[in-house]
Copies of this chain bind each other. A is one copy, B any other.
Amino acid sequence: MPGEFDIIDKYFAPLAGPEGLALKDDASVWAIPSGFDLVVTKDILNEGVHFRTEDPPDLLAYKAIAVSVSDCVAKGASPAQYWLGLSLSQEPNDDWLRNFCGGLKRAQQDFGCTISGGDTTKSLGGLTVSVTVAGLIPSGKMIKRSGAKVGDAVFVTGELGNAALGLHELLSGKYGSSELVQAYQSPSPPLVFGQQLSCVANAAADISDGLIADAGHIARQSQVRLQIFQDRLPVGQLARAMVEREAGLAQKIWSGGDDYQILFTAPVSAEPMIKKIARESKTLVTNIGEVTVGDGVQLLDQNNEIVHVTSGGYEHF
């Protein structure tokens, strides 16, 4: 059974970049390049709340990084470093640590960031993984929630609902090799697209709580209304087939969480540029609505009738 410092030396230190000082100091040190702002986000995943005890440790580690990277990417920033907090309810064994760090390594490669420090502790409760990610963005260019303007179009990257439907598959016991399950377990925030977003977007947020809830954040902070057209929502084939089998699942498209795509608003005139960036970064981007005077979010069906939204996103309390 490895000790705390052995764990750090053997498993985490090889993942560190120069700023992490091989995880051998009390802190990391980072010479921020001039001309850049630092964008920082933090997320926690708790056993039994955000993940299941039986979830594979490599997928858990990957997701823990991805969900914080997602916030960073939605703000237009490039993830650079992260700090990992790990509270373990049991003495970790080498297998678990090897798998967990395999997931971290894969996330580092996919998202371009390295571990710079953290803390590994014992907990009397379940496993908790907390990740703080810091990214860089050219000075003054962070895309806030508060910048949406009346007349903007509303866009979303990727497909909606895959993760929530994947979780439904998992929980209903129909576990397979479905891409929906993969969307839930291994989120893919659109990193390359996001890095070009600050040239065109007025406001942005990642979709973690569900499309309607996160659109609500933008509407509230920008003091506008977001009108979203149901029949424009990007829904993949597998998701569409599932909703056709079980109509009650349709709301997972707009109210399910865990998409980790980017919702953003931009002037209509920017649409050609957005399509170009999307094409170059091989990212699906869909115009799903418009910003109007008013407040809140309206989901409209094909007859322009307001769809009653039953769930407004996840709150912990």
Contacts and interface: CB of A to CB of B under 8 A. Distances in A.
A24 interface: yes
A315 B42 CA distance: 26
B124 A42 contact: no
A43 B119 contact: yes
Interface in A64-120: 71-72, 74-75, 77, 81, 83-85, 87-89, 91-92, 116-120
A44 B146 contact: no
Contact of A317 (B72, B92, B124): B92
A34 B29 CA distance: 15
A91 B47 contact: no
B37 A29 contact: yes
B125 A123 contact: yes
Query: Which of A26, A81, A122, A221 lies at the interface centre, i.e. has the most chain B CB atoms within 10 A of its CB?
Result: A26
Contacts of A206: 26
A39 B24 contact: no
Contact of A118 (B42, B75, B121, B137): B42
Count identical subunits in the complex: 2
A27 B208 CA distance: 13
> How big is the A interface, by class?
35 or more
Given A38-B38, A91-B317, A317-B7, A25 B145 contact: yes
Interface stretch (A126-134, A154-162, A244-252, A266-274): A126-134
Contacts of A211: none
Contacts of A89: 125
Contacts of A142: 27, 29
A29 B38 CA distance: 6
A122 B32 contact: no
Interface in A46-71: 46-50, 71
Contacts of A28: 39-41
